């Protein structure tokens, strides 16, 4: 089963989806060589390292959302009804695009 590609053009990326995609790409590349998959895997592995560096184990839930900076104002409006002041965020780079990781 092909998992959905993850690029830095998405407004919201769930970290579980990110790690699922990385695992899927690694398995696919064990069976066949694909330049497209290889390039995506490299980019996602760097992104995952940046996510891990932005948060400690005690503050980071592997199901956290990463919100694209350009979408953040719209997302913040959604959070306003959910005690938005309690939400902690950390910036994470994904190939030149900033995402905000919910801690």
The verdict on residue 76 lying in a domain is yes
- Give domain status of residue 1, yes or no: no
- In-domain check, residue 3: no
Q: What is the DSSP string of the chain?
A: -PPPP--TT-SEEEHHHHHHHHHHHHHHHHH---HHHHHHHHHHHHHHHHHHHHS-TTT--TT-EEEEGGGHHHHHHHHGGG-GGG--EEEEEETTEEEEEE-
pTM: 0.84
Average pLDDT of the residues of the chain: 87
Chain segment 43-86, per-residue pLDDT in tens: 999 999 999 888 765 556 678 899 999 999 998 887 766 665 66
pLDDT of residue 93: 97
Q: Is residue 2 part of a domain?
A: no
Structural domain includes residue 73 = yes
46 is written with which tokens?
A: 């760097």
Say how many domains are in the chain: 1
**36: containing domain:** 12-102
User: Which residue would you say has higher pLDDT here, 82 or 8?
Assistant: 8
């Amino acid at each position: 089963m092909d998992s959905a590609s993850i690029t830095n053009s998405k407004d919201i990326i769930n970290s579980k989806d990110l790690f699922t995609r990385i695992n899927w790409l690694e398995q696919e590349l064990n069976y066949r060589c694909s330049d497209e998959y290889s390039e995506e895997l490299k980019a996602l592995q760097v992104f995952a390292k940046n996510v891990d560096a932005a948060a400690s184990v005690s503050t980071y839930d592997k199901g956290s959302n990463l919100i694209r900076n350009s979408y953040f104002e719209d997302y913040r409006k959604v959070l306003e009804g959910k005690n938005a002041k309690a939400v902690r965020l950390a910036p994470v780079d994904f190939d030149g695009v900033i995402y905000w990781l919910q801690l």
